Chains A and B, each alone.
Chain A
Amino acid sequence: QKEVEQDPGPLSVPEGAIVSLNCTYSNSAFQYFMWYRQYSRKGPELLMYTYSSGNKEDGRFTAQVDKSSKYISLFIRDSQPSDSATYLCAMKNFGNEKLTFGTGTRLTIIP
């Protein structure tokens, strides 16, 4: 079983819709949670960073972490065609260099 599970999609939604992307994990030691956005043929770029449980909002993006359920989410409001990309969750525990990535969800926003 993988430490981090992420539905690969693809996910297609109409412009303006709310998008929900999710990851589940099995390692209860994970404390640092990130979402990366990766455009086609590009490197990942950090979108959201959260420590421990709770919510974090940045513009149209909201990251949620539920450590009791080992579940993290990224919500995108008022989705735009420019949001079309692959979204990778990543997480880490304290004490080693390993950043464990999900496999990514490919998202397409339809104009």
Chain B
Amino acid sequence: NAGVTQTPKFQVLKTGQSMTLQCAQDMNHNSMYWYRQDPGMGLRLIYYSASEGTTDKGEVPNGYNVSRLNKREFSLRLESAAPSQTSVYFCASSEDRIWWKTGTEAFFGQGTRLTVV
């Protein structure tokens, strides 16, 4: 049982380049999330998908796009990378969007370390 798998684990981009971060979960979860983690800022929600076919903006969506390809996969795309997007990106999934109310867990992947130079 792999849980939440993110690819790649590391990436260096030049300013203006584009890339897609991939995330897949094998727990049959309905909801998936993309966070970024920066020193002194904590984890911040970029986008989320409450269920297959839906996506919504989180706290810091500017400069990103997402695609919920199917129930398993949720990708994050940077169309024109900027140095401010240097961060560690985490994908997470949960059984449903009210996991926080029921106390069930949201599971995180191991992260993608992205550097934009």
Q: Does A25 contact B (CB under 8 A)?
A: no
Q: Do the beta carbons of B58 and A97 come within 8 Å of each other?
A: yes
A-B contact pairs, 5 of them (CB 8 A): A34-B100, A43-B90, A46-B105, A97-B48, A103-B39
Q: Do the beta carbons of B59 and A98 come within 8 Å of each other?
A: yes
Chain A interface residue bracket vs B: 20 to 34
Q: Which residue of A lies closest to B103 (CB)?
A: A49
Q: Does B26 contact A (CB under 8 A)?
A: no
Q: Does B42 contact A (CB under 8 A)?
A: yes
Q: Do the beta carbons of B108 and A97 come within 8 Å of each other?
A: no
Q: Report how many residues on chain B are interfacial, defined by Cβ distance under 8 Å.
A: 26
CA distance A8 to B44 in the complex (A): 17
List residues of A whose CB falls within 8 A of some B CB: 4, 6, 8, 32, 34, 41-46, 49, 51, 88, 90, 92, 94, 97-104
A32 is contacted by which of B40, B42, B100, B109 (Cβ under 8 Å)?
B100
Q: Does B56 contact A (CB under 8 A)?
A: yes
B114 to chain A, nearest CB (A): 14
